[in-house]
Amino acid sequence: MQEQLKQLQQEALDKIEQAQELKELNDIRVAYLGKKGPITEVLRGMGKLSAEERPVMGALANEVREAIATAITSKQEHLEQIAVEQKLAKETIDVTLPGRPVRVGNHHPLTAVLEEIEDLFLGMGYQIAEGPEVETDYFNFEALNLPKGHPARDMQDSFYITEELLLRTHTSPVQARTMEKHEGKGPVKIICPGKVYRRDNDDATHSHQFTQIEGLVVDENIRMSDLKGTLEVFAKKMFGEEREIRLRPSFFPFTEPSVEVDVSCFSCGGKGCNICKGTGWIEMLGAGMVHPNVLQMAGFDPEKYSGFAFGIGAERIAMLKYGVDDIRHFYTDDVRFLKQFKRA
Ligand code: PHE
């Protein structure tokens, strides 16, 4: 029996020595030290031994067990150590490899211009208003003094959805919506940036969808000089401190009087060049004093209140500011175009 135990020990130690993997080691543990293992088997035969032999054999069996267990533990530690080393070797980072450039996006030029304009007007105490892009005929036209059948509706070819619903052709309906919310009480001081839609054939200067920024101020004693001063600040902010503006008479059904606002050419300073087509002036936006009918329809007393409004074409401003020659560049997502605008 003693021999048998010694032999088992040797056998187990050899196998442990040769084991290459943790799984193998565990199998050895189960095989030799488990309940069904050979050592347990040997101990089961102890009943046949004499009273003197029994403790001696018991002690020996425990020694063998201990020896095997110790060998397994130390081999296990060894194998684990190797596994860690292999993993580290495999996952080593070669810090000498060249890095990959990190690409940082930048604002779309149109977004940049919109934010610049919003900041300017927020700084002058305006609030930002919004309205729906799918608009009713009432707000897009009628509330702006353009009753059904009015010839000036042709100025803005429209995408109709139903007889009474259309894609808004301008941001001016937000004027009427905002005034209604104020229930006849001033002051109203808003800008409204947003998408507008017109049935135009797309070319270098036309797009069926573009962006406007509406401005509206209604209060007591608002005059044309307030409009002019405001737009002068706007022109200088966008195109440089030396710029001047001029107002030319124009027509919009919702303003009276109506004006077209020009800015002195930022390229030649007014002498005349290609950009201003030799005139020294560049057309910038449409504006005017809110028509009394519009005030009245929106619940404001035109005897007490007056106001001014303007509509800025955001793409036009961006094209002038950045020298972009085709409005379609804003929508075709060509990275070669977009990459030229650096983060501020
Ligand atoms: N809504 C006009 C347009 O789209 C612009 C405008 C706005 C004119 C406000 C005057 C006042 O052409």
Distance in Å, CA 172 to ligand 1 centroid:
6
Distance in Å, CA 215 to ligand 1 centroid:
9
Nearest 10 degrees: Cα torsion 199, 201, 205, 210: 40
> What residues contact residue 193 under an 8 Å CB cut-off, 6+ apart?
114, 117, 118, 128, 171, 211, 212, 213, 214, 314
* pLDDT one-digit tens code per residue, 320-344: 999 899 999 999 999 999 999 886 6
User: How would residue 143 be classed by pLDDT, with cut points 50, 70 and 90?
Assistant: very high
Cβ–ligand 1 contact at 172 (below 6 Å) = yes
| pLDDT exceeds 90 at position 75 | no
Q: What is the residue-averaged pLDDT of the chain?
A: 91
Report the pLDDT value the prediction gives residue 38, as an integer from 0 to 100: 81
| pLDDT exceeds 80 at position 15 | yes
| pLDDT exceeds 90 at position 110 | yes
Q: Where are the domains of the chain?
A: 2-90, 109-338
- CATH code reported for the domain at 109-338: 3.30.930.10
Q: How large is the average pLDDT for residues 248-277?
A: 93
Pocket test of ligand 1: the residue of 252, 256, 293 to mutate, having most ligand atoms within 8 Å of its CB, is: 252
* pLDDT one-digit tens code per residue, 147-184: 998 888 877 789 999 999 999 999 999 999 999 999 99
Report the pLDDT value the prediction gives residue 344, as an integer from 0 to 100: 61
User: How would residue 264 be classed by pLDDT, with cut points 50, 70 and 90?
Assistant: very high
Local structure of 344: helix, strand or coil: coil
Nearest residue CA, atom 6 of ligand 1?
A: 311
With 0.85 as the threshold, say if the pTM is over it: no
User: Strand pairing of 188-197 and 209-219?
Assistant: antiparallel
Report the pLDDT value the prediction gives residue 154, as an integer from 0 to 100: 79
Local structure of 88: helix, strand or coil: helix
Local structure of 218: helix, strand or coil: strand
| Ligand 1 atom with the shortest distance to the CA of 175 | 9
Question: Bigger pLDDT: 26 or 309?
Answer: 309
Give the bridge partners for 212, in sequence order. 194, 313
Q: How large is the average pLDDT for residues 292-304?
A: 98
User: How would residue 219 be classed by pLDDT, with cut points 50, 70 and 90?
Assistant: very high
Helix/strand/coil percent split, the chain, to 5? 45, 20, 35
Cβ–ligand 1 contact at 327 (below 6 Å) = no
Q: How large is the average pLDDT for residues 13-22?
A: 85
| pLDDT exceeds 80 at position 68 | yes
Cβ–ligand 1 contact at 264 (below 6 Å) = no
| pLDDT exceeds 90 at position 56 | no
> What residues contact residue 30 under an 8 Å CB cut-off, 6+ apart?
37
